[in-house]
Structure 1
Amino acid sequence: MVSSPFKVASVQFNPILNERDKNIEELLKVTEQAFKEGARLVVAPEMATTGYYYANREAIKPFVDTIPGKTTAAFAKLAKKYNSYVVFGMPEVDGKTDLYYNSAALVGPEGYVGKYRKTQMWETEMHWGAWGDLGVPVFDTKIGKIAINICMDSAYSETARLAGIQGADILAFPTNSSAQAISALPARAQQNGMYVVSANRSNTEVGFHMIGGSAIWSPEGDKLAEAKVVMTESEDIDEPTITYATIDPKNFDNKNKEYLEGRRPELYKDLMLTVAPWDYTKNTTPHDVVAAALQYEPVIGNKEKNKEKIERLIKEAKLKDSKLNLVVLPELSSTGPVNNLHKNEIKKLAEEANGETTQFIAKLAKEYQVSIVFGMVEQENNHLFNTAILISEDGQTVGKYQKTHLNKSDKKWAKEGSTLSVFETKSLGKIGVLLGEDAQYPEASSVLAVKRADIIAIPSAWNGQYGGEMQINKTVSANTYPEGSMVTWDAVAIGAQAYTVVANYVGTKEEYAGRSSLYTLDPLYALDQPVVASANKEEALIVKFKTIQPDAWFNQELLILSRQPAYFKPLIQEN
């Protein structure tokens, strides 16, 4: 396998509907141009040989081809000549069943390498195409392990994760995106420690506008290169645009890929469930929520000082908005992070779940008539847990969650939890809880979605050890993400279609990074607005939202109905 850095190219190519032969001829020319410039991998858009919109099987029938077939053979000659690879989208016909698929082919110097059939389809192609039935194969090539996802696949974290757990180095991503698909890509790159090469269109077809913004993302979620974004039909760019970046194979082994070893497949069995539309356990009543995410500088190990800060900030929040009904505190709220304490010191700080800290929080909940999510060092049966507890406004314990994905510091003193939990409340609906590093594992938030969490609370102690600032083009989102928005937390909210409230610390020698926040269901198409606090100020960030959003074009109900768990089985299988 190549060990030196190499160039890759994203071809923002705009096919003409119903002109397959002409499109292939033009795409071959553009691909050769990129090869001549030294690209070892070229990625072209979804349905690049035909255009995208076809009303039914009869409409697309004249333009399908087998894979392998005439189309792949034409690209194979080019790939062999330049000792390079190309991925392009096309409608495929299966020679045995005569079924059609929205597919992408990988062709290289050795000829046809493999294909991918789109797993998570959008409504348009469902009128002529069958659901993909190949899973997410990963292909060993001379330039690394390459997997393919297509467009709507990126709305479901599982599809890219299937590539990640097989060790994919590069995800080729053909798309015809109006915003959603390409906006998910930095999270998919980061969650799986792989490069992503995306190719979109930049024009309008049968009233559907595709916004360009083809990009190459690093395994850290950094944007390496991006084509122009065109948000309106008046800005259409019909001619091809080639965007180049460099991939370094030395970065195929990276910190984010190492995090995959922390997965806990035994906890993810619910990913295989689809209860909708007959799920009688789901909440069907939207709730108006006024939440406060508290951030403060913890005094490590000093419960009394931290309690003073907690009470002061809750009081301030209630004074700002009397309708406040939910408060989320940072991880290990009363002790502060205990990373640098000896285990014996941590034991002295530990309490049972109904101990004095819980009683203190219950008193605040009743006094201020708010539900509170807080964290503590819990002692249970001679074990210590990093625990979060939800207290209702009447001071009752609704439930507790023990952190399931421990970081290196946690593992020195804490036992792993064994359940991903969603709690039922009368006033707020269903609340799921994640703690700190749990948010890195998209399977965890997907399980909470299957369990129909309306809200996800994330008490955190974050100083940049995972995730990173969002780098999507600001013009892509109708409601702009605030400065300091964090990829990982946003991916929880959009991926689970659950409003997500994050509370984080500021300050200390560990330089906790603040940015407590609300992440929402759909800022891209102007449904709602994320909100982010400062990086260094003690404050109660107050946010407002209405849960469920039953009338939105995409919501948790539609997410659950449209996901394809039959192909998720590798995610729940233990090594």
Structure 2
Amino acid sequence: MQPRRLLTVIALIFTLISVGGYQWHKSEYPALAKAPNMETVNKPFKAASVQFNPILNERDKNVDELLKVTEEAFKKGARLVVAPEMSTTGYYYADRESIKPFVDTIPGKTTAAFEKIAKKYNSYIVFGMPEVDKSSDLYYNSAALVGPEGYIGKYRKTQMWESETHWGAWGDLGVPVFDTKLGKIAINICMDSAYSETARLAGIQGADILAFPTNSSAQAISALPARAQQNGMYVVSANRSNTENGFHMIGGSAIWSPEGKKLAEAPVVMTPKEDVNETTVTYATIDPKQYENENKQMLQKRRPELYKELMQTVAPWDYTKNTTPHDITAAALQYEPVIGDKDRNKEKITSLIKEAKTENPELNLVVLPELSLTGPVTGMDKKEIGPLAEDTSGETVQFFAGLAKQYQVSIVAGLIEKQSNKLFNSAILFSEDGKIAGSYQKTHLNKSDETWASAGSSLPVFKTKALGTIGILVGEDAAYPEAAGVLAVKRADIIAIPSAWNGQYGGEMEINKIVSANPYPEGSMVTWDAVAIGAQAYTVVANYVGTDNKYLGRSSLYTLDPLYALDQPAAASADKEEALVVKFTTIQPTAWFNQEMLILSRQPAYFKPLIEE
């Protein structure tokens, strides 16, 4: 079955069966229930992000004003408009009583008002609002989708921020994807983006566009390039640009391509002094021809059988987790490999480690690129690769064991591992005494790997005295957020990524530089940063430079929270042989958001589609 057809079937199945144990009733999703034969838009069309700032407690005035703004965007040619989270009421409510006068059903009076203009202009709008469920009298932070055919569907926020939990219930609809004339549209809201799973649920159902209403101070909008790229879908985000009850929202509403490229962005306002209370509308073109893309095709190579831990929530008193922060001084080595020449590569590696240790006596972790001694074997056939393979008693293991013991450092290094009659793209963790502390076999193979390597069958973590708990991903593993998610559930304090990256996945980060209190370095890479932020684990990446394959360097450290000034990412050059030395302290138990907070706030009941094979 072709990938597109398969994704379409999956999307249809999701409209008929339960998600996380909750059924999508026909009465709630009339457009899906009728499955209309709509004329699909094949030509590029204009999308509008409406940076709208509602007045707290003024629902009717807000709805009237948002209708005017939306109609103006429609008149200017927008076929899709996205408005912010809670755009009909304002955001902050202390409890159920305070928000009670302003909630509405979905569908209801509010959606009916937008149906009229959507039909008039043959266009669509997604907007956030507080919803009341008549049957249960529960309130939800929701968003509605309205189009020419009327009310289409709704989404209830899955991953709520703390302030909403004082009046609202956790979303219970999963992440539905709606067929429209413009393509398949899904919705996430604000804090959802801190958890890769919510956008991924849209991605595996074939979503072409993710509408993203938000009230963000930085974190939510900064994750969007990764969410677009990981799932091969456009993202249209709408934020606010003013301050409400002391909470400042920074604007920066943006539209992102399926490659994670910024197509358009509203101004960013980092302080209340810069508040823009007026509405700002930002436009960009969405091209349906880009709905089918390499990033979306990568979804077909997911390994759901490896992701079962995503469904687990470990209780707060988890006695297996590491509770002791470790001071780490790490070196990410990058060099130009001499392909197939282990001796020459040994010289380069030894020299870089010696220099790093001499200048930093406290150095206790070294990470090397994948297949560290042989160099990448792209273009070789299995017969050529065979003689380079070895088991864990071979030359490579002996060499790195000796280096680890000599320099009293833990080392993560890669090799072509021979096990029985199979070959693996593997990485081994050596402790400072030269012993093997753990080994990992790459689980998500690229096209070159597939010509010679077998895929690994697990995503382990390794507990050590010197480092705490460390997980390993190799190369393309990093492009699958589920892999980092599993390592987070297993409480990895550090993730090491031996890599051979020449641009085959990911790309340079394009978030507005002023959004992060501690600036990202030049050449920062979306995929690697998403591993660190998504798993809340310090992530050390080692990459090659040069060769005919034009490896892009940028060996790096990605951290837990540079946005709010907790820590500082770092990156090496794009083309020089060097050891990037970085320092950090793991766990960060007092930070406002860390791995503990991530694990305890996840809503895995709705993640089940991610682990179904």
Indicate the TM-score class for this superposition, using the shorter chain for normalisation: over 0.9
- Does residue 466 of structure 1 match 2:539? no
The match for 2:235 is 196
The match for 1:449 is 488
The match for 1:218 is 257
- Does residue 332 of structure 1 match 2:371? yes
The match for 2:60 is 21
SS of equivalent to 2:403: helix
Number of residue equivalences: 574
CA distance in 1, matches of 2:507, 2:305: 28
The match for 1:424 is 463
Output one character per residue of 1:288-307: Cα deviation in whole Å (capped at 9) or x when no partner: 00000000000101111111
The match for 1:533 is 572
SS of equivalent to 2:146: strand
CA distance in 2, matches of 1:5, 1:545: 46
The match for 2:276 is 237
The match for 2:475 is 436
Letter of the aligned partner of 1:135 in structure 2?
G
The match for 1:271 is 310
Residues 354-365 of structure 1 aligned to structure 2 (within 5 Å): 354-365=393-404
SS of equivalent to 2:155: strand
Output one character per residue of 1:5-45: Cα deviation in whole Å (capped at 9) or x when no partner: 00000000000000000000000000000000000000000
The match for 1:395 is 434
Equivalent in 547, 564, 574 of residue 508 of structure 1: 547
- Does residue 558 of structure 1 match 2:597? yes
SS of equivalent to 1:310: helix
The match for 2:166 is 127
Shift of 1:381: 1.0
CA distance in 2, matches of 1:134, 1:382: 47
The match for 1:370 is 409
Output one character per residue of 1:327-378: Cα deviation in whole Å (capped at 9) or x when no partner: 0000000100001112111110000022111111011001100000000000
Equivalent in 42, 45, 68 of residue 6 of structure 1: 45
**Does the aligned pair in 2 maintain the 1:9–1:39 contact within 8 Å?**
yes
CA distance in 2, matches of 1:339, 1:537: 21
Letter of the aligned partner of 2:432 in structure 1?
E
**Does the aligned pair in 2 maintain the 1:15–1:49 contact within 8 Å?**
yes
The match for 1:303 is 342
Letter of the aligned partner of 1:463 in structure 2?
N
Q: Can you give the 5+ residue segments of structure 2 that lack an aligned partner in the other structure?
A: 1-39
Letter of the aligned partner of 2:204 in structure 1?
I
Letter of the aligned partner of 1:506 in structure 2?
V
Equivalent in 144, 160, 163 of residue 199 of structure 2: 160
The match for 1:61 is 100
**Does the aligned pair in 2 maintain the 1:84–1:108 contact within 8 Å?**
yes
**Given the two structures, how large is their TM-score scaled by the length of structure 2?**
0.93
CA distance in 2, matches of 1:192, 1:342: 31
Shift of 1:320: 1.3
Output one character per residue of 1:188-207: Cα deviation in whole Å (capped at 9) or x when no partner: 00000000000000000000
Shift of 1:392: 0.1
CA distance in 2, matches of 1:353, 1:58: 65
CA distance in 1, matches of 2:300, 2:558: 27
The match for 2:130 is 91
CA distance in 2, matches of 1:320, 1:470: 31
Output one character per residue of 1:463-485: Cα deviation in whole Å (capped at 9) or x when no partner: 00000000000000000101100
Shift of 1:278: 2.3
Output one character per residue of 1:107-132: Cα deviation in whole Å (capped at 9) or x when no partner: 00000000000000000000000000
CA distance in 2, matches of 1:306, 1:50: 62
SS of equivalent to 1:50: coil
SS of equivalent to 1:384: strand
CA distance in 1, matches of 2:288, 2:327: 49
Output one character per residue of 1:265-286: Cα deviation in whole Å (capped at 9) or x when no partner: 0000000011131211110000
- Does residue 483 of structure 1 match 2:540? no
CA distance in 1, matches of 2:354, 2:160: 48
**Given the two structures, how large is their TM-score scaled by the length of structure 1?**
1.00
**Does the aligned pair in 2 maintain the 1:12–1:45 contact within 8 Å?**
yes
- Does residue 170 of structure 1 match 2:170? no
**Does the aligned pair in 1 maintain the 2:316–2:600 contact within 8 Å?**
yes
CA distance in 1, matches of 2:610, 2:304: 6
- Does residue 290 of structure 1 match 2:329? yes
CA distance in 1, matches of 2:385, 2:273: 62
Letter of the aligned partner of 2:203 in structure 1?
G
Output one character per residue of 1:485-529: Cα deviation in whole Å (capped at 9) or x when no partner: 000000000000000000000000000000000000000000000
Output one character per residue of 1:159-201: Cα deviation in whole Å (capped at 9) or x when no partner: 0000000000000000000000000000000000000000000
- Does residue 227 of structure 1 match 2:266? yes
Letter of the aligned partner of 1:52 in structure 2?
Y
- Does residue 111 of structure 1 match 2:150? yes
CA distance in 1, matches of 2:541, 2:54: 43
The match for 2:30 is none
CA distance in 2, matches of 1:354, 1:69: 69
Output one character per residue of 1:85-120: Cα deviation in whole Å (capped at 9) or x when no partner: 000000000010000000000000000000000000
CA distance in 2, matches of 1:241, 1:168: 27
The match for 1:344 is 383
SS of equivalent to 2:201: helix
**Does the aligned pair in 1 maintain the 2:140–2:170 contact within 8 Å?**
yes
**Does the aligned pair in 2 maintain the 1:276–1:560 contact within 8 Å?**
no
Runs of 4+ in 1 over 2 A off after TM superposition: none
- Does residue 205 of structure 1 match 2:231? no
Report which stretch shifted further, 333-342 or 26-35. 333-342
Shift of 1:226: 0.1
Q: Can you give the 5+ residue segments of structure 1 that lack an aligned partner in the other structure?
A: none
SS of equivalent to 2:580: strand
SS of equivalent to 2:452: coil
The match for 1:322 is 361
**Does the aligned pair in 1 maintain the 2:381–2:451 contact within 8 Å?**
no
CA distance in 2, matches of 1:311, 1:351: 21
